Structure 1
Amino acid sequence: MRLIWVLATLVVLASAGSLKDPPTVRYDNYSVYQLSIKNKIQLSLINKLGELSQKYNIWKDYDDHTKQMHIMVSPSESTRFQLLLKFVGISSQLLIDNVQKLIDDEKISNRDSGTFGWKRYHELAEIEAWLDEILATFPSVTESFSIGQSYEGRNIRGIKISHGSNKPGIFIESNIHAREWITSASATWFINELLTSQTTEVRNLAENYDWYIVPVFNVDGFEYSHRQNRLWRKTRQPHATSSCIGVDGNRNFNSHWMENNGASSDPCSETFAGESPWSEPESKALSEYLTSIKDKFSVYLSFHSYGQWLLSPYGHSEVEYPENYDDLQEIGAAFAGAIKNLVYGTDYVYGSTASVLYVASGSSVDWVFNELDKKVGFTIEFRDKGNFGFVLPPAQILPNCDELMAGMVALIDKTNQLGYI
């Protein structure tokens, strides 16, 4: 009898342990709509809906350029949502009718090959194994570095590519938002090109500059997006006062933190800025690492998706502009023009974050710009405009990468011409 009790207890304990991991979040028949916003009352209403994270999720905040925003709606709320739109006079367009189908199609593509490449998306362990292989293959020009530790104890890894000492540095931070998988895919492709491409313009980039690249910055959130919730955005640190988890890492930097409604104080919001600047160990570690190498880099780039934007400071104010804003606009025009000239004909909009998109305070780019005095910094929002949003099909990875390289060559060339490097 005692043996049976022990066995039963073990079964219960094992079951309890397995229940700690919640089931994978599914988005069957969740829809994404593009909304045309006419006034502040409409905007406030949709933002309030966006705080109901289980039923609504804002994919793209309202921006002054298009007067539009994107929101995902659960099937249980569909009828109520349409009635609400009609009542307040908001026009809508259906962009995605079933988010889960996009996720399922993505998973099928991810089964195509066991090798590392850019026809599918890779998990964190695969990316780190590939980094190890790259470091072993190119030991004379590559060097591993660590930003620090995440909340869950993962190493935030980076790679430095250098063909000599004392060359101007360019820092790339990628995947600060977990669900934006195209960013780490593009970052790893870019690393590979710097090391293997024989084209003249890419060799010039590789050999004339030191590159510091972090393919996956939000390692905890990225892992969670692969294991539990494909659309997870934030970090994974719990809060003492809320059951909601995580912070928007790109609102947690100590530069105009929480100013002008550029972030949320609600722990359940996708743009929650944290209890204080540097509340997240990831952002704090990055700030300390960047400070330690501040004399070694001149340009800072942050990879994001989606929307096809090249965004310069400032994010905290729609009416303030940096002294070198005209130069940043010139660099932006070169970047967008180079991409537009490719066979895809993709349009990128450029300008300051707050003036052409929306107010976003406490971002990494603004912190580097303001506090480390690096006067060329951009957020690059990759494909697309909303037909796929965060679940960009793997078939678009390589076209996006082509656009990144064309834009990067033009961006660095123009930055050099203007005397910033």
Structure 2
Amino acid sequence: MKLNNLATFLLVVPLALASAVPKERKQTYNGYKTYKIATHNNPAEVRAKIAKFAAIPFNTRDDVHLDVAVPPEEIAAFEALGLETTVLSEDLGADIAEEGPLVAYESPVGVQAIPSLTWFNNYHAYADHITFFNDLQAAFPTQSEIFTVGKSFQGRDIFGIHIWGSGGKGSKPAIYFHGTVHAREWISAKVVEYLTYNLLTQYTNDTAVKAIRDAYDFYILPVVNPDGFVYSQTTTRLWRKNRQTRSGSTCVGTDINRNWPYKWELTGGASTDRCSETYKGLAAGDTPENQALVAFTQKLKNGKGIKFYVDWHSYGQYILLPYGYDCNARASNHAAQNTLAKNLAAEIQKSYGTRFTYGPSCSTLYKTTGSAPDYLTDVGGATYAWTIELRPTSSSSNGFVLPATQILPASIEQWNGLKYLLANI
């Protein structure tokens, strides 16, 4: 989700072109150098100076700085401009290489065998995520089930797992998680999977987990943008949107998290440009992914209701509360939400010292319209509906590209925080 600060290292020309003209061969970013350019409240002047370069700045808030990635053949000319810059990364391609290869997953041997925690040592291909979830569910067949909410634009299942406790299936209010809404945010799938893993495996030996499971039903969707996720793994690592094509345009993709049918019509929090990374679509809810998610959300609302929703993203280390569509709007229970977020940040920090900023989404980060947490709050009836932006920090040179060595730490700190949170909502 994160679009300011180092986001332009994800929005360089090859990525922008990939939005307009889909490529089948894998895009590389070897030699791209990323910069932070000071704008001193005059971003238009800076943008004009760099307009001739094949480096597209993309900051939602650019009054202080623009962040850009420059292809190797243009670095010398770019630096000759004499702009006030800070180098964020010497080689974007090398940053991506630090993620490591996609490692093949091996299913556990034996009836109801639990997958190994080594799953969290590496990133894996999309097909392996499906197998991992099926294996995990098969190890706990009386406490969970796999479900699908619908199909993606390219026909892939949007799948999830339902977990319940002693009250039986569907007997308690919902805890509802979405991961990998934005395709390039690979760490979000891993964190959601780690939470799932612990909810299932720790039920009989952790009283806190048992209390949580017995109080709520969990509905966890690790990859709600499967088409984009696959494309990010096979073709363009930094792809964000879904892979929806539209008549009359060569641009591909809609931002699913700007397509929810609530406050979609407002301006300033999404784009009407079909090539933009935040393209909102032609109409509210006109992506098949969003239509499936809305229908499922309403099903949960009409059942036992939704207690807590999280849309897991990266990066920047934020806990974002309602609302995104208006920087002055606050949820009716804002004071309680703010206290919970403050305490959650403190719990997360205890694990590794990682600091999370918290507050209302618009005023803390930037404006968003047609977003999931706003819909879940005012239409879906969730008591709490948040976005959590995972590692790294907004000042990191890695951004969305998080080394595999950080998968477990990023997951463990969220698990420890979540146990506190769910015991106190």
CA contact (8 A) 1:145 1:159 kept: yes
Q: Deviations over 1:299-358 (max 9, x none)?
A: 11100000000001110111222222211111110110111222x211100001110100
Q: Which residue of 2 aligns with 1:100?
A: 93
1:374 aligns with 2:387: no
Q: Which residue of 1 aligns with 2:75?
A: 78
Task: Choose 404-413 or 328-337, whichever is displaced more.
Answer: 404-413
Q: Which residue of 2 aligns with 1:56?
A: 56
Offset, 1:204: 2.9
1:42 aligns with 2:39: no
1:405 aligns with 2:407: no
CA contact (8 A) 2:260 2:375 kept: yes
| Aligned partner of residue 61 in structure 2, secondary structure | strand
**Counterpart amino acid of residue 244 in structure 2:** Q
1:341 aligns with 2:350: yes
Offset, 1:261: 0.7
Aligned mates of 2:282, 2:105 — CA distance in 1 = 43
CA contact (8 A) 1:177 1:218 kept: yes
CA contact (8 A) 1:233 1:270 kept: yes
Task: Choose 163-172 or 362-371, whichever is displaced more.
Answer: 163-172
1:181 aligns with 2:181: no
Offset, 1:178: 0.2
Q: Which residue of 2 aligns with 1:222?
A: 229
Offset, 1:289: 1.1
Offset, 1:81: 4.3
**Counterpart amino acid of residue 232 in structure 2:** S
**Counterpart amino acid of residue 89 in structure 2:** I
Cα 1:167–1:112 shift into 2, 3 Å:
closer
| Aligned partner of residue 241 in structure 1, secondary structure | coil
How many equivalent residue pairs?
Answer: 385
**Counterpart amino acid of residue 151 in structure 1:** F
Cα 1:46–1:325 shift into 2, 3 Å:
farther
Instruction: Please show how residues 289-368 of structure 1 align to structure 2 within 5 Å.
Output: 289-294=296-301, 295-296=303-304, 297-342=306-351, 344-368=352-376
Cα 1:134–1:85 shift into 2, 3 Å:
farther
| Aligned partner of residue 408 in structure 2, secondary structure | helix
Q: Which residue of 2 aligns with 1:146?
A: 148
**Counterpart amino acid of residue 195 in structure 1:** L
Q: Could you list the runs of 5+ residues in structure 1 that have no partner in the other structure?
A: 1-19, 416-421
CA contact (8 A) 2:105 2:128 kept: no
Offset, 1:85: 7.1
With the length of structure 1 as denominator, give the TM-score of the two structures: 0.85
Cα 1:125–1:204 shift into 2, 3 Å:
same
CA contact (8 A) 2:43 2:66 kept: no
CA contact (8 A) 2:373 2:385 kept: yes
Give the alignment's Cα RMSD to 1 decimal: 2.6
CA contact (8 A) 1:63 1:358 kept: no
CA contact (8 A) 1:63 1:357 kept: no
Aligned mates of 2:335, 2:422 — CA distance in 1 = 16
**Counterpart amino acid of residue 259 in structure 1:** L
Q: Which residue of 2 aligns with 1:136?
A: 138
1:278 aligns with 2:285: yes
Q: Which residue of 2 aligns with 1:244?
A: 251
CA contact (8 A) 1:43 1:62 kept: no
Q: Deviations over 1:41-72 (max 9, x none)?
A: 4169659979x9x74364x64389xx556433
Q: Deviations over 1:130-164 (max 9, x none)?
A: 11112221110001111100000000000000012
| Aligned partner of residue 226 in structure 1, secondary structure | helix
Aligned mates of 2:79, 2:285 — CA distance in 1 = 40
Task: Choose 24-33 or 301-310, whichever is displaced more.
Answer: 24-33
Q: Deviations over 1:17-45 (max 9, x none)?
A: xxx96211111112233344432x41696
> Structure 1 or 2: larger helix share?
1
Cα 1:341–1:135 shift into 2, 3 Å:
closer
Offset, 1:258: 4.5
Q: Percent identity?
A: 33
| Aligned partner of residue 313 in structure 2, secondary structure | strand
1:391 aligns with 2:393: no
CA contact (8 A) 1:194 1:206 kept: yes
| Aligned partner of residue 332 in structure 2, secondary structure | coil
CA contact (8 A) 2:262 2:371 kept: yes
Cα 1:383–1:63 shift into 2, 3 Å:
farther
Q: Which residue of 1 aligns with 2:272?
A: 265
Aligned mates of 1:124, 1:267 — CA distance in 2 = 26
Q: Which residue of 2 aligns with 1:6?
A: none
| Aligned partner of residue 119 in structure 2, secondary structure | coil
| Aligned partner of residue 424 in structure 2, secondary structure | helix
Aligned mates of 2:141, 2:265 — CA distance in 1 = 43
Cα 1:189–1:49 shift into 2, 3 Å:
farther
Q: Deviations over 1:192-220 (max 9, x none)?
A: 11111233333333333211000100000
Task: Choose 194-203 or 229-238, whichever is displaced more.
Answer: 194-203
